[in-house]
Structure 1
Amino acid sequence: MAQNDIIAEVGGQSVFRRHHIKADGRDLRLYGYSAHELPVVAEMDDDVAKGGELRWHPFRREWNVYAAHRQNRTFKPSAADDPLAPTKPGGAATEIPFEDFEVAVFGNKFTSLHPEAPAPTTPPSTETDRAFGACDVVVYTADQTGDLHSVGQDRRRLLLAAWVDRYEALFSEGCRFVMPFESRGEEVGVTLHHPHGQIYAFGKVPHVHQLMAEAYADGFSLETSLPTWSDYVVAEAGNVAAFCPPFARFPYETWVTSRRRVAGPWDFSEEEADGFAALLGDMTRRYDTFFGRDTAYMLTLHASPVGSEDSFHFTAQFYPILRAPGRVKFLASVEQGTGVFTVDVMPETAARTLRDQ
């Protein structure tokens, strides 16, 4: 019988986690509202990378990851060859060797970061280090189509429980910063269309999040700023707000956060967890309604790095890659060369537009 652990309670329902070690040694975790007891149908057993290496950029003052093996990652397979679908009897083995599941999380076969990342072997022409960390793939549903709106509130709450479970595990394994994210749409480089996201866990805190942590430590407070930004609020649910920050860099950029400061989603009350999950779906719907299509966006979750929990304020941030229906927002020479963004839509206008959807 499969080993299932209860890891959380969501709205009076237990959340179960089944841990399975794949034939190639990678971990697979299945999350659901009922214990997962299905037998293995068939397993993939391919070679698996153990990360790349880090190199220091002396001018940007940041570490970047170099992982040449990712050039060979899966690229736009047909629906029949979907590696994130469940494995069916008589069919080809996929990443999930079971006939059905609710939410699945497994180690990325083409990982950039790995707990057993090797020491760099390149010539010491710049400062280098091991690419310690982890990269997970998070599959939202066994269905081959869907999004954060269509999967429904129960599935979003289950996804949130899975994220929190992985935050706790990855921090306990020595990672310093953990970021769940979703890339949606071919404009942002999506090569697998099955509804899914990823989690990157870093051994070093990225430069952007060092700056965020410093800003919070120096006294900036979303908790006190939000009440003054009423013109920028798009929607609210359960003491959680979705808003277009007045300093947004992308047209129609939206952040989702609790009005009460929390370091990460592990600190949410039941009401806040419900509100946060609901707004993830609501913002996806609003974007798709306004742009008239499945909106290409990047969604990133920014929880506290290790050591900044006393001041950091958790946010989820949507960055749409569209500036109007039918028009892509390209990051062109000025933005790429200077880091200074030119924003085509005033954030207060974006908030008003999205409120009407």
Structure 2
Amino acid sequence: MTIRGARRTDTKLSDGRDLIYYDPADAAVRVPLEDTRGLPAPKPQVDLRIDPLTGDTITYATHRNTRTYLPPADQCPLCASKPGNPTEIPDHDYNVAVFENRFPSFAGPGRAEVVCFTSDHDQSFTNLSQGQARLVVETWADRTAELSARPDVEHVFPFENRGREIGVTLSHPHGQIYAYPFLPPRMRTLLDRAREHQTVAGSNLFADILATERRQGTRVIAENSTWTAFVPEAARWPVEVHLYPHRQVADISELSGPERDDFTQLYLDVLRRLDGLYGDPLPYIAAWHQAPVRVDRELGYLHLEVLSIRRAADKIKYLAGSESGMGAFISDTRPEDVAETLRKVGS
């Protein structure tokens, strides 16, 4: 199947889970190899409960406690299969691959997927070529559109965790997509603020934030014709960068071809600046903020938030008493100083 900017090939793993390959649009038609592992059908144990104090949905996925944890490189389940080492991806090579998580956080209502950015175990998103990173963007767009069409999904959240300090359990370059069967707390908070702003100011909160950052310029790191990257005025994390398109769109699937090109260029630039901050790969979380699938969609504004808990070359920001107990963040770094440093890193 050919989608915009990519060729998609659907197949199944031996336990019935979906596996999807994404190749360049001009690539040869892929004939997927069979998964010979003979895995039993997955039986995830997922329980959703509402916290009566906050209204937040808490997910209990006890089967995940047995998931694969930091295996040696020659036993990585996200690498392409080799003789004697069958993996989650039966083919001997791939560009981008997506499969249902074997240890999902959501099952039944909702869905959890793994997105492998490349078959090269020793790569990172930072060092992907422009074309390979652009293929990942096409993958995110296609998965967002398909998952958003499911009746049991309320919000689609693509993200990447990088670095052991963040809690990564597989070192292969990959991300995940959570298709939540509910609206997550962070999104509920943002939309509440956006609704208040719309009532008072008559305009979109996110668009106004972007306009302010571009006008002031003191926290802008880099920009191109359709995207701007900046450190937010009230950043919570020691290193935090937001990437906004100049045009309000609800999700990745609504981006035009040129906007996807420009995002890829700017994101790779930002990631390289982050890795240059302390002279080694920065642990980070990259979190896509997309509009909800159904409710308040007009209030949303697609953007990507990249954050790191490293507050100095040899120090980590831990969420201690104030942050964990009261949700009141106290930062060791000033947003304007972080922005200036990141601008210099790329100069």
- TM-score, normalization by structure 2: 0.92
> Residue 186 of structure 1 aligns to which amino acid in structure 2?
R
Tell me if structure 2 keeps the 8 A contact 1:22–1:28: yes
Tell me if structure 2 keeps the 8 A contact 1:238–1:271: no
Counterpart CA distance in 2 for 1:107 and 1:35 is 24
Which residue of structure 2 lines up, in the alignment, with residue 195 of structure 1? 173
> Residue 7 of structure 1 aligns to which amino acid in structure 2?
I
Shift of 1:216: 2.2
Residue-by-residue CA offset, 1:250-297 (whole Å, 9 max, x unaligned): 012001111221111222222221121122211211111112111111
Could you say what secondary structure the match of 2:161 adopts?
Answer: strand
Which residue of structure 1 lines up, in the alignment, with residue 201 of structure 2? none
User: Which deviates further from its counterpart, 219-228 or 326-335?
Assistant: 219-228
2:149 paired residue among 172, 186, 200 = 172
Instruction: Give unmatched runs, 5+ long, in structure 2.
Output: 199-203
| 1:160 and 2:137 correspond | yes
| 1:341 and 2:321 correspond | no
Tell me if structure 1 keeps the 8 A contact 2:44–2:63: no
| 1:141 and 2:134 correspond | no
Which residue of structure 2 lines up, in the alignment, with residue 280 of structure 1? 267
Counterpart CA distance in 2 for 1:299 and 1:264 is 15
| Structure 1 pair 42–25 and aligned structure 2 pair: CA distance change class (3 A) | closer
Identity %: 35
Which residue of structure 2 lines up, in the alignment, with residue 210 of structure 1? 188
Counterpart CA distance in 2 for 1:291 and 1:281 is 17
Which residue of structure 1 lines up, in the alignment, with residue 320 of structure 2? 332
| 1:102 and 2:95 correspond | yes
**In proportion to residue count, which structure has more helix?**
2
| Structure 1 pair 96–110 and aligned structure 2 pair: CA distance change class (3 A) | same
Equivalent residues in 2 for 1:8-19, closer than 5 Å:
8-9=4-5, 15-19=6-10
Counterpart CA distance in 2 for 1:109 and 1:45 is 14
Could you say what secondary structure the match of 1:253 adopts?
Answer: strand
Could you say what secondary structure the match of 1:31 adopts?
Answer: strand
Which residue of structure 2 lines up, in the alignment, with residue 112 of structure 1? 105
Counterpart CA distance in 1 for 2:30 and 2:252 is 29
| 1:77 and 2:55 correspond | no
Could you say what secondary structure the match of 1:287 adopts?
Answer: helix
Which residue of structure 1 lines up, in the alignment, with residue 255 of structure 2? 268
| Structure 1 pair 315–223 and aligned structure 2 pair: CA distance change class (3 A) | same
Tell me if structure 2 keeps the 8 A contact 1:252–1:323: yes
2:210 paired residue among 226, 232, 244 = 226
Counterpart CA distance in 2 for 1:330 and 1:63 is 24
Counterpart CA distance in 1 for 2:227 and 2:20 is 29
Counterpart CA distance in 2 for 1:267 and 1:182 is 21
Tell me if structure 2 keeps the 8 A contact 1:237–1:279: yes
Counterpart CA distance in 2 for 1:309 and 1:152 is 33
| Structure 1 pair 40–171 and aligned structure 2 pair: CA distance change class (3 A) | same
- The alignment of Structure 1 onto Structure 2 pairs a total of residues equal to 331
Shift of 1:38: 4.1
Could you say what secondary structure the match of 1:84 adopts?
Answer: coil
| Structure 1 pair 146–238 and aligned structure 2 pair: CA distance change class (3 A) | farther
| 1:235 and 2:222 correspond | yes
Tell me if structure 2 keeps the 8 A contact 1:179–1:201: yes
| 1:22 and 2:13 correspond | yes
Tell me if structure 2 keeps the 8 A contact 1:44–1:95: no
User: Which deviates further from its counterpart, 308-317 or 33-42?
Assistant: 33-42
Could you say what secondary structure the match of 2:273 adopts?
Answer: helix
Shift of 1:204: 0.8
> Residue 6 of structure 1 aligns to which amino acid in structure 2?
T
Shift of 1:36: 4.4
> Residue 61 of structure 1 aligns to which amino acid in structure 2?
G
Which residue of structure 2 lines up, in the alignment, with residue 250 of structure 1? 237
> Residue 135 of structure 2 aligns to which amino acid in structure 1?
L
Shift of 1:42: 4.5
Shift of 1:35: 3.9
Could you say what secondary structure the match of 2:20 adopts?
Answer: strand
Counterpart CA distance in 2 for 1:133 and 1:353 is 40
RMSD: 1.4
Tell me if structure 2 keeps the 8 A contact 1:16–1:32: yes
2:52 paired residue among 51, 58, 62 = 58
Tell me if structure 2 keeps the 8 A contact 1:238–1:274: no
Counterpart CA distance in 2 for 1:35 and 1:51 is 40
Instruction: Give unmatched runs, 5+ long, in structure 1.
Output: 10-14, 117-131
